[in-house]
């Protein structure tokens, strides 16, 4: 918080405290004078009013029960606070007509307290009034991240435990004789009606007429971290993780501004428990995305529930999502520690999808999911115990770009060198337009996925599978065409008779399309993997990630230079022969990757191949379907090679 903001907040506290000892008429006049033409100070007072409103909702049960006063001191405080709220809203509304709508609910709250209404009515009125007050205020400024829990606990022990106790139960030695007693943060009923914003304001500004002081010595991040920490203590039984889809239901501002009881009342019953989970695990709210481990676990548990209910289609969808929207995003980071562990989890998840497609296999499904959850726990412990080293991050970054970029690069370079060797340099611009458009659209797609729409892992895999399949088909065709021109005489004849006619506008745009497809499918996946890798790195380690990226870019640039330089010197027959084999390899790889993508998306079944045959750089996976697709590429090439040889003879 800036010095100006701290000064303004302190002034608001002093003025608000001073108002308490003045007559009502003097209070109103003083408040009007203070806030005249000062909208920022008016906002501070509105926050103070919201805090008083919440305080009434929390503590009214201590003052009144069954229409009778059970604590005269507490009830007198309720009367006083409700009067101050109504009076100050009336005063602030004279300078700000937008606040006129708050007068009636403030009057209603005052009347309910004076008539000793039941707790439900009073809490309903406080929730309504507080929500309306917050609607008049700008969004609360929150830190980008909370402090690590261990660090927050240290601050709590140093600053708060003397009064609130080491476990937050309000039993600290310095709080034994305080009146009112320090808050017991583990009291679930009280926590249900206490917002995180109210806790933060209490920490920041203190509470009048109590021993609760303003902790202006702490930074804003420390105060927010404390608020989230003490706000979690009553909900620690909520040890689950929130499902990613549920984050569209509750955002961070809602969680901060609204009490759990009120928020839960606004949610569908299927989402109610999410409030407890997020209060118990607030770090999830500050993540750009929920931890991929958390997503994978939640999807697997939901898949088991769906299977038990007999909904095999949904169970399969959730099992697929557990991998694509969860585990796949941390594969690169985990592989830096233990590649074998990564492969084992992949195989387990693939096997689960096979089992879950068959009805009446409850025991097998439960056992498979239990094994995967245990494996995910071990993998998460591995990554949590020690932070990814700078070397591991740089290596993972290097491998991601080199692996994803090399395939696209080879296709683009093959097209460029073919056009140059055929003396059609004018057509090279079509290749460049294709890959440049792919880079731009890839970036826009990622931005849209982050900001406008939600692209599921299955949709991403389908997109990649279709692109890889189309590219493989085109490469097979181009490879066969090039092989038919490996004879120099045949090539010269083709040049003379067909080249200019065949490389007309339509064909040139086809070349641009192939360039676009080859690059676009890699760009989106590359951005996805880098985003996930950056979430696993500390801010200070981002330079290591970008260092690996730059190193891979340099290697790709060297490969580009080498191919363009030396391919020009090759005799035309050898050039076409070597390029044909390159295209055959690329088509072989892309055919396998297309099938794998469709299998991961759940479009095609995955039948295990009895012999281990996973070779990533060749796009090979140990399934009959993916190996069959690659075998088909080899068969097609072989048939045309044999026909070409017979024709030559």
Are 384 and 333 spatial neighbours (Cβ–Cβ below 8 Å)? no
**Choice among 177-181, 197-201, 642-646 with the minimum mean pLDDT:** 642-646
Rounded Cα gap, residues 609 and 627, in angstroms: 9
Distances (CA, A) of 135 to 53, 257, 340, 371, 382: 14, 10, 53, 48, 44
Query: What does the pLDDT look like over 481-530, one tens digit per residue?
Result: 555 555 445 544 544 444 444 455 555 666 777 678 778 767 766 776 67
pLDDT of residue 497: 47
Distances (CA, A) of 244 to 251, 313, 349: 12, 20, 19
**Secondary structure, 3-state, 501-553:** HHCCHHHHHHHHHHHHHHHHHHHHHHHHHHHHHHHCCCHHHHHHHHHHHHHHH
Query: What does the pLDDT look like over 190-206, one tens digit per residue?
Result: 888 888 998 998 898 88
| pLDDT for residue 380 is more than 90 | no
pLDDT of residue 77: 86
Question: Band of the pLDDT at 23, cuts 50, 70, 90?
Answer: very low
pLDDT of residue 1: 39
Query: What does the pLDDT look like over 95-122, one tens digit per residue?
Result: 788 888 999 999 999 999 999 999 999 9
Rounded Cα gap, residues 140 and 253, in angstroms: 7
CA atoms within 13 A on the CB side of 120: 2
Rounded Cα gap, residues 117 and 506, in angstroms: 80
- Angle, alpha carbons 8-9-13 (nearest 5°): 115
pLDDT of residue 227: 93
* End-to-end Cα separation, the chain, in angstroms: 84
Neighbours of 150 (CB within 10 A): 7
Rounded Cα gap, residues 294 and 397, in angstroms: 23
Rounded Cα gap, residues 636 and 434, in angstroms: 27
Query: Residue 367 contacts by C-beta under 8 Å, 6 or more apart in sequence?
Result: none
Length of the chain: 649
Q: Which stretch of DSSP H or E encloses residue 68?
A: strand 68-69
Query: What does the pLDDT look like over 140-159, one tens digit per residue?
Result: 888 878 888 888 999 999 99
**Choice among 309-313, 506-510, 638-642 with the minimum mean pLDDT:** 506-510
C-alpha of 391 from chain center = 25
Are 147 and 131 spatial neighbours (Cβ–Cβ below 8 Å)? no
Are 64 and 116 spatial neighbours (Cβ–Cβ below 8 Å)? yes
| pLDDT for residue 441 is more than 50 | yes
**In sequence order, which ranges of 20-148 are alpha helices (DSSP H)?**
24-35, 39-63, 72-95, 103-114, 119-135
Rounded Cα gap, residues 264 and 266, in angstroms: 5
Q: Could you tell me the residue ranges of all domains in the chain?
A: 3-135, 145-173+182-262+273-283, 291-386, 390-587
3-state secondary structure of 259: coil
Structure tokens at 131: 């929500």
Rounded Cα gap, residues 362 and 365, in angstroms: 5
At the top level of CATH, the class of 145-173+182-262+273-283 is mainly alpha
């Amino acid at each position: 918080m800036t010095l100006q903001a701290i000064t303004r907040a302190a002034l608001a506290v002093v003025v608000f405290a001073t108002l308490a000892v003045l007559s009502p008429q003097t209070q109103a006049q003083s408040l009007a004078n203070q806030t005249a033409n000062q909208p920022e100070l008016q906002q501070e007072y509105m926050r103070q009013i919201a805090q008083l409103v919440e305080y009434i909702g929390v503590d009214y049960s201590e003052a009144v029960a069954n229409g009778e006063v059970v604590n005269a001191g507490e009830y007198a405080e309720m009367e006083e606070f409700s009067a101050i709220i109504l009076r100050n809203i009336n005063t602030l509304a004279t300078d700000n007509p937008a606040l006129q709508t708050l007068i009636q609910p403030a009057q209603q709250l005052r009347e309910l307290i004076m008539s000793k209404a039941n707790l439900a009515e009073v809490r309903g009125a406080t929730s309504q009034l507080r929500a309306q007050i917050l609607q008049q205020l700008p969004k609360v400024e929150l830190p980008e991240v909370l402090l690590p829990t261990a660090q927050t606990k240290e601050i709590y022990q140093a600053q708060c435990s003397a009064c609130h106790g080491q476990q937050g139960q309000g039993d600290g030695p310095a709080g034994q004789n305080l009146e009112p007693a320090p808050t017991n943060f583990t009291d679930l009923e009280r926590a249900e009606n206490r917002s995180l914003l109210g806790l933060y304001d209490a920490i920041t500004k203190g509470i009048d007429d109590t021993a609760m002081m303003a902790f202006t010595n702490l930074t804003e991040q420390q105060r927010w971290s404390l608020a989230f920490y003490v706000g979690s203590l009553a909900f620690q039984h909520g040890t689950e993780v929130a499902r990613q889809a549920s984050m569209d239901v509750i955002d961070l501002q809602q969680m901060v501004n609204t009490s759990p009881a009120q928020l839960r009342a606004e949610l569908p019953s299927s989402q109610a428990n999410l409030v407890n989970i997020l209060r118990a695990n607030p770090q999830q709210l500050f993540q750009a995305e929920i931890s991929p481990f958390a997503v994978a676990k939640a999807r697997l548990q939901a898949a088991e529930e769906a299977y038990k209910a007999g909904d095999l289609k949904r169970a399969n969808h959730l099992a697929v999502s557990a991998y694509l929207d969860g585990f796949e995003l941390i594969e690169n980071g985990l592989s830096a520690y233990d590649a074998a562990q990564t492969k084992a989890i992949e195989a387990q998840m693939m096997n689960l999808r096979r089992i879950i497609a068959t009805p009446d296999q409850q025991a097998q499904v439960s056992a498979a999911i239990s094994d995967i959850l245990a494996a995910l726990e071990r993998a998460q412990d591995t990554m949590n115990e020690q932070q990814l080293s700078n070397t591991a991050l740089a290596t993972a970054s290097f491998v991601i770009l080199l692996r994803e970029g090399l395939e696209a690069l080879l296709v683009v370079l093959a097209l460029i060198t073919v056009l140059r060797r055929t003396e059609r340099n004018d057509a090279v611009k079509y290749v460049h337009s294709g890959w440049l458009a792919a880079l731009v659209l890839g970036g826009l797609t990622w931005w849209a996925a982050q900001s406008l729409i939600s692209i599921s892992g299955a949709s991403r895999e389908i997109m990649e599978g279709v692109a890889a399949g189309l590219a493989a088909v085109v490469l097979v065709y181009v490879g066969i065409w090039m092989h038919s021109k490996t004879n120099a005489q045949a090539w010269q004849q083709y040049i003379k008779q067909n080249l200019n006619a065949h490389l007309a506008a339509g064909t040139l745009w086809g070349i641009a399309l192939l360039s676009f497809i080859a690059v676009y499918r890699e760009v989106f996946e590359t951005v996805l993997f880098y985003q996930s890798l950056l979430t696993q790195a500390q801010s200070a380690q981002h330079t290591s990630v970008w260092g690996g990226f730059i190193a891979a870019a340099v290697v790709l640039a060297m490969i580009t230079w080498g191919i363009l330089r030396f391919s020009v010197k090759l005799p035309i027959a050898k050039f076409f022969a070597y390029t044909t084999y390159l295209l055959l390899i690329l088509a072989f790889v892309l055919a396998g990757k297309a099938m794998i993508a469709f299998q991961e998306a759940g479009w095609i079944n995955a039948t295990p191949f009895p012999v281990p045959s996973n070779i990533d750089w060749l796009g090979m996976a140990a399934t009959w379907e993916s190996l069959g697709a690659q075998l088909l590429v080899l068969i097609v090439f072989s048939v045309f090679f044999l026909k070409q040889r017979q024709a030559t003879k």
